[in-house]
Chains A and B, each alone.
Chain A
Amino acid sequence: MIPFEYRRAEDTDSAVTAVAADPRAVFLAGGTNLVDHLKLGITAPDELVDVTDLPLDAIEDTPEGGLRIGATVRNSDLAASPPVRERYRALSLALLSGASGQLRNRATTGGNLLQRTRCPYFQEITTPCNKRSPGTGCSALHGHNKNHAVLGASDSCVATHPSDMAVAMAALDGTVHVRSDRGERTIPVTELHRLPGEQPHRDTVLERGELITAVDLPPLPTGTYTAYRKVRERASYAFALVSVAAVLRVDNGVIDDVRLAFGGLAHKPWRAETVEERLRGATPAESTFREAAEAELSAARALADNAFKIPLARNTLGAVLRDLTTEAAR
């Protein structure tokens, strides 16, 4: 860890100005990912601008009946907050499936969205990695790649995005509010993260100095059911092999709204648009789910160790939809 300055920002303006002024400054929120990376030598900023005191820790109803979640709201508070538990169950479940109680007590909404990959080559700085050191190559492509991407990967990078929360927010059509010294903008959660392409060192579309200030969730119509199912190699405290976030509404025996996102399959939360298209207007049936999943996953490309993710994703999606349609039919 190289020596660095530390500054505690008191308001959002001064935070974004401070980072804009120093090309090697970064924001520090809960620190659960950044401090890890400082120790590993993955990142070496010369200044940390602590944003945890900023007034961004509220969870509020929006005028449209949705929810605005401040960027510094801790994951545990968000998971436990009544509106999330009551209206956005998938988000609460996704948060609770991530990390551990101790980590959730620190991790923030903004930080969780910007969580970087758990690719073990990215994490070991003595190995080539295009995401960490552009142009050095991808060690995972022909190395150990059991936990790597099967959708949307490139020859430059086969890493997956590790967040559970982001998968749920992608399925819930969340919108990210971003602030910098140049002003504010909003980005759909589904467009925040990038596919690796030729530039895997860029995880998201955020420009340098942009600070996430909030995430908005639109309201869900009455009768909508949501779920999050995470499959992992331990019963708890492990990253996903595959996860599925689902939003579903069935009206008169027909699916009239369905939104699905996969975790663990790609460099970003993967909205399963093909499945959504096929299921909208369809009658819930096991075979329909399976065919839709297979259509989505026909684009999947397996590496040496991760072919299992394709049937696993199909089966998990099927199980989640089976449970949700059963629930909706009650």
Chain B
Amino acid sequence: MTQHIGSGTAGSPVERLDGQAKVTGNAPYAFEQLTEGAVYLHPVRAPVARGRVTELETAAAEAVEGVRAVLLPGQVERLDTRDRELAVLQSREIAFRGQYVGAVLATTPENARYAASLVRVSCAEAPPDVALDSERADLYAPEVVNPSFETDTEQGDTDSALEEAAYSIDRTYRTPMEHNNPMEPHATVAYWDGGQLSLYDSTQGAHSVCDTLAPLFGLPADRVRVQAPHVGGGFGSKGMPHANVVLAALAARSVPETPVKFAVTRQQMFTVAGHRTPTIQRVRLGATRSGELTAIVHDVVEHTSRIKEFAEQTAVPTRNMYRAANRRTTHRLAALDVPVPSWMRAPGECPGMFALESAVDEMARECGQDPVDFRIRNEPSEDPETGLPFSSHNLAGCLRHGAERFGWYDRNASARSSPDAAGWVPGVGVAASTYPVLRSPGSRALVLAEGSGRYRVSIGAVDIGTGARTALTQIAADALDTEVSAIDLRIADTALPYASVAGGSSGTTSWGTAIHEAAGELRAEHGSAPPPGASAEGETTSNPESDRFAMHAHGAQFAEVRVHADTGEVRVPRMLGVFAVGQVINPRTARSQFLGGMTMGLSMALHEETVLDHTLGHVVNQDLAEYHIATNADVGSIEITWLDEQDPHVNPMGSKGIGEIGIVGTAAAVANAVQHATGARVRQLPITPDKLIS
């Protein structure tokens, strides 16, 4: 393929280009746009989890000062969609508690909220069904799992292999429903002017929002413009537009030439912004006397909503993580009266690897082997599913390097230690990480020579905090053989060339490749000193190498915990992540991505759990006081390092995605460490004191 970029600015720790604007609060986010003359939207929400709206009384709301409009189901523009999550106010059916059943527009946020509270909603109510259980009779096999993986796979004869295995385990692991909760709640400012819809949106993909909304409103894509200059995190929840964006656009229709501002409240984030499905995962492993895996079975049960299917690919990483001649993976769903699940950081890999990496730890113990050595022993030499060679594969390298750096072999190998004077019991654990190298074809970039050695580089990509703005500038500078300061990067606007969504850790690959191609075009046509006004486009196509190679990033995570003998509190004073992710474009921002992934993994291990009330059907802990994410005090020292991995097959930069691999395996490393400290194996996340108290 194309030459590997190793020199130049790629690989140097350029300071975040939008950093100063962000630390001073001057970087504008979606809700901070078009404030002049704007009206505020506050939604009316379904007070039951299943049923039908029979009546909406709006007189009191309409009488509130400054109310400009009250939107009701069936009384708004018909939307052209079969996507029932996005069919906002198109019917009176209620599919989950908190679903939008109306909205109020008013000139102040106080009056919009007050008026919305005065809309009386009457419902015909049916008892909701929200409890996931692996014995449900209505479990079904989806056609594919996200995005388009086979639902089930089978190789060899797992039943016989398990029966004949010298060692075998059969364990069930559970992960709870979880919510992305980016710090910036989803927000939209929508504005209709004639037949043109303009949106400032808090999204991971400006073009995705445009491509979804335009047909909904029967518009050509060029009549919808979406901008997302700064986005306060997403972690998947902003990967596809949800009902809130549609509601804002619908509402703006009723007040032409007036910006409509709609910020989802934190409470609403628990119903309209997507979530990670709970999982029930049964893992069976068989191994020979010498500790070689012979059978791997991973059966997953998860939920989806009644109105829209999202089937998380939880068992997919199990298909190529370890060598074993006999393997089976399955996914089954229950469609419940729950909000619509969606992407959350490393969908599939994240919950799936908690189960697999916990089970592998249990199996290593069963075989009397060191968990690091056991993993290395079972490393596959080619993709076990397809037989393709790996473009690069350094799991063993990560494990070895990490073990040495962490002091792994110095630990007391037997489980359970004695508490120190303050009652804390120490333990250490390890787990592996993996994430595929994904690429979304179709991203385009435009490079324009501005003279005096300066270039304008345009691509509609969005920086949700990943550092894409900085990394893409570096890639452009390298491809144009110039300095970062010579690049004027324009992003986050559908007026710019098409860019795929910031998801699947595919941003740098998808967008960087387009920039690289455009720069190559420009230089091929105009040489190294293009005249001002010269320009070239580049497009990211699918990678022909992916037919010849399996492409994955890998990592090893080590965690040190302390568990309090009296209270069951768990602290994680130290973690180490070692990754093999090809060329790192910007070590400073990349390190932050790994840190962030591991921190979210730690948070998943110890804190995060969305609770549904089985009678009322609502999310019980729908705020940040009750849905715990890790605080500063929960996070100790986290060391990040990566191997020098050369992979010429993945893309022109030689880089693999880094946004998600950091969260994969962390929770298992913590759970494995808790087991090492206490002897207690917690198979249900999060590992809260109630699960360890005796």
Contact of B690 among A1, A237, A238, A308 (CB under 8 A): A308
Is A231's CB under 8 angstroms from B616's CB? no
- The answer to whether B621 touches A120 (Cβ under 8 A) is yes
With A236-B634, A239-B625 as known contacts, state yes or no: A139 contacts B566, CB within 8 Å: no
- A93 on the interface (CB 8 Å rule)? no
Those of B556-599 within 8 Å (CB) of chain A: 566-569, 571
Taking a contact as CB atoms under 8 Å apart, the answer to whether B567 and A315 are in contact is yes
Q: Is A23 an interface residue (CB 8 A)?
A: no
A8 at interface by CB-CB < 8 Å: no
CB neighbours of A308 from chain B (8 A): 689-690, 693
A residues less than 8 Å from B571 (CB atoms): 235
Question: Is A144 positioned at the interface, with any CB of B under 8 Å from its CB?
Answer: yes
A143 at the B interface (CB under 8 A): yes
- Among B47, B571, B631, B693, the one with the most A-chain Cβ atoms within 10 Å of its Cβ is B693
Contact between A1 and B423 (Cβ–Cβ < 8 Å)?
A: no
Does B632 lie at the interface of the complex (its beta carbon under 8 Å from any beta carbon of A)? yes
Contacts of B566 in A (CB 8 A): 315-316, 318-319
Task: Answer yes or no: B633 CB below 8 A from chain A CBs.
Answer: yes
Query: Does A241 interact with chain B (Cβ within 8 Å)?
Result: yes
Interface flags for A1-16 (1: CB within 8 Å of B; 0: not) read 1110000000000000
B47 touches A126 (CB 8 A): yes
**B418 CB–A CB distance under 8 Å:** no
From the candidates A2, A237, A239, A312, name the one contacting B567 in the complex (CB within 8 A): A312
Closest beta carbon of chain A to B638's beta carbon, Å = 15
Which chain A residues numbered 192 to 237 have a C-beta less than 8 Å away from chain B? 231, 233-237
User: Contact: B616 with A139, CB < 8 Å?
Assistant: yes
- Distance (Å) between the CB of A272 and the closest chain B CB? 17
Asked whether any CB of chain B lies closer than 8 Å to the CB of A55, the reply is no
- Bound complex: CA A252 to CA B621 (Å): 50
Contacts of A1 on B, CB cut-off 8 Å?
110, 113-114, 117
| Chain B, residue nearest A139 (CB) | B616
- How distant is the Cα of A235 from the Cα of B117 in the complex, in angstroms? 36
Looking at the complex, which one of A146, A238, A311 makes contact with B694 (CB distance below 8 Å)?
Answer: A311
Whether B607 contacts A233 by the Cβ 8 Å rule is: yes
Contact check, B616 vs A127: say whether CB atoms are below 8 A apart: yes
Q: Which residues of the other chain, B, contact A231 by a CB distance below 8 angstroms?
A: 567, 569, 689
Given A124-B618, A124-B622, A312-B693, A234:B634 Cβ within 8 A: yes
User: Which A residues touch B688, using CB under 8 A?
Assistant: 233
Q: How far is the CA of A238 from the CA of B633 in the complex (A)?
A: 11
Q: What DSSP secondary structure best describes chain B's contact surface?
A: loop
Contacts A143-B615, A146-B690 given; indicate if A2 touches B569 (C-beta within 8 A): no
A118 at the interface (CB under 8 A from B): yes
Q: Tell me if A41 is interfacial: C-beta within 8 Å of chain B.
A: yes
Q: How far is the CB of B9 from chain A (nearest CB, A)?
A: 39
Decide: A237 near B631, CB < 8 A? Known: A120-B621, A316-B567.
yes
User: In the bound complex, what is the Cα–Cα distance between A326 and B632 (angstroms)?
Assistant: 31
B452 CB, min distance to chain A CBs, angstroms: 48
Inter-subunit contact B633/A236 (CB<8 Å): yes
Shortest beta-carbon distance from A117 to chain B in Å = 12
User: Which residues of the other chain, A, contact B626 by a CB distance below 8 angstroms?
Assistant: 118, 120
Q: Give chain B residues whose Cβ lies under 8 Å from the Cβ of A234.
A: 606-607, 628, 630-631, 633-634
> Contacts of B631 on A, CB cut-off 8 Å?
234-238
Interface members, chain A 247-277 (any B CB < 8 Å): none
Q: Which of B595-639 contact A (CB under 8 A)?
A: 606-607, 611, 613-616, 618, 620-623, 625-626, 628, 630-634
Determine if A182 is an interface residue (Cβ-Cβ < 8 Å): no
Minimum distance in angstroms from B19 CB to a CB of chain A: 24
Chain A, 128-140, contact with B by CB distance < 8 Å: what is the 0/1 string?
A: 0000000000010
Q: How far is the CB of A48 from chain B (nearest CB, A)?
A: 14
Contacts of A310-328 to chain B: CB distance below 8 A: 311-312, 315-316, 318-319
| B117-144 contacts to A (CB < 8 Å) | 117
A3: chain B residues at CB < 8 Å are: 114
Residues of A within 8 A of B423 (CB): 319
The residues of B that contact A330 with a CB separation of less than 8 Å are none
CA distance in complex: A231, B423 (Å):
13
- Bound state CA distance, A39 and B117, in angstroms? 11
With a cutoff of 8 Å between Cβ atoms, the chain B residues found around residue A144 in the complex are 611, 613, 620-621
Give chain A interface residues in 117-166, CB to chain B under 8 Å.
Answer: 118, 120-121, 123-124, 126-127, 139, 142-144, 146
A 285-330 contacts with B by CB, 8 A: 308, 311-312, 315-316, 318-319
In the assembled complex, the CB of B492 is this many whole angstroms from the nearest CB of chain A, namely 32
Residues of the B chain whose Cβ atoms lie less than 8 Å from the Cβ of A143: 613-616, 620
A residues within 8 A CB of B615? 139, 142-143
- Shortest beta-carbon distance, B12 to chain A, in Å? 36
- B residues within 8 A CB of A312? 567-568, 689-690, 693
Give the distance in Å from the alpha carbon of A39 to the alpha carbon of B266 in the complex: 12
Contact of A127 among B618, B623, B633 (CB under 8 A): B618
A233 CB contacts on chain B under 8 angstroms? 606-607, 628, 688-689
CA distance A318 to B616 in the complex (A): 39
The answer to whether B620 touches A120 (Cβ under 8 A) is yes
Using CB atoms, name the residue of chain A closest to B634: A235
CA distance A41 to B621 in the complex (A): 17
Residues in B whose Cβ lies below 8 Å from that of A124: 618, 620, 622
Residue of A nearest to B623 (CB): A123
The complex places the Cα of A57 from the Cα of B329 at a distance, in Å, of: 65
Judging by beta carbons under 8 Å apart, are B625 and A311 in contact?
no
Q: How far is the CA of A207 from the CA of B572 in the complex (A)?
A: 47
Inter-subunit contact B622/A241 (CB<8 Å): no
**How near does chain A come to B561, taking the closest CB pair, in angstroms?**
13
- The interface residues of chain B lying within 8 Å CB-to-CB of A239 are 625
Residues of A within 8 A of B694 (CB): 311
Interface residues in A9-60 by Cβ distance below 8 A to B read: 39, 41
* Nearest Cβ on chain A to B398's Cβ, whole angstroms: 29
* List of A residues within 8 angstroms of B690 by Cβ: 146, 241, 308, 312
Residues in A neighbouring B567, C-beta threshold 8 A: 231, 312, 315-316, 319
B residues less than 8 Å from A311 (CB atoms):
693-694
- Given the known inter-chain contacts A144-B620, A233-B607, A233-B688, please indicate yes or no for A139 contacting B613, CB distance below 8 A: yes
* Nearest CB of A to B636, in Å: 10
Q: Are A238 and B628 in contact (CB under 8 A)?
A: yes
Known contacts A118-B625, A231-B569, A315-B693; is A236 also within 8 Å of B632 by CB?
Answer: yes
Q: Contacts of B628 on A, CB cut-off 8 Å?
A: 233-234, 238
Residue from A1, A233, A236 whose CB has the most chain B CB atoms within 10 Å: A233
Shortest CB distance A259–B (Å) = 21
Question: Which residues between 651 and 694 of chain B lie within 8 Å of chain A, taking CB atoms?
Answer: 688-690, 693-694
Q: Which of A55-109 contact B (CB under 8 A)?
A: none
Give Cα A118–Cα B611 distance, bound, in whole angstroms: 15
Set of chain B residues within 8 Å of A237, measured between Cβ atoms: 631, 633
Query: For the complex, what is the distance from the CA of A78 to the CA of B509, rounded to whole Å?
Result: 55
Contacts of A127 in B (CB 8 A): 613, 616, 618
Separation in Å of the B455 CB from the closest CB of chain A? 44
Contacts of A139 in B (CB 8 A): 613, 615-616
User: What is the CA–CA distance of A311 and B423 in the complex, to the nearest angstrom?
Assistant: 16
A231 to B436, CA, bound (A): 40
A239 to B630, CA, bound (A): 14
A residues less than 8 Å from B689 (CB atoms): 231, 233, 241, 308, 312
A-B contact pairs, 13 of them (CB 8 A): A118-B625, A120-B621, A126-B618, A127-B618, A139-B616, A143-B614, A146-B690, A234-B607, A235-B571, A308-B690, A311-B693, A311-B694, A319-B567
Task: Given contacts A236-B631, A236-B633, A312-B567, list 10 more A-B pairs with CB under 8 A.
Answer: A1-B114, A121-B620, A127-B616, A143-B615, A233-B689, A234-B630, A234-B633, A238-B628, A241-B689, A312-B693
The 10 closest A-B pairs by CB, nearest first: A308-B690, A236-B633, A235-B633, A315-B566, A319-B566, A144-B620, A126-B47, A231-B567, A235-B634, A120-B620
**Chain B residues near A (Cβ < 8 Å):** 47, 110, 113-114, 117, 423, 566-569, 571, 606-607, 611, 613-616, 618, 620-623, 625-626, 628, 630-634, 688-690, 693-694
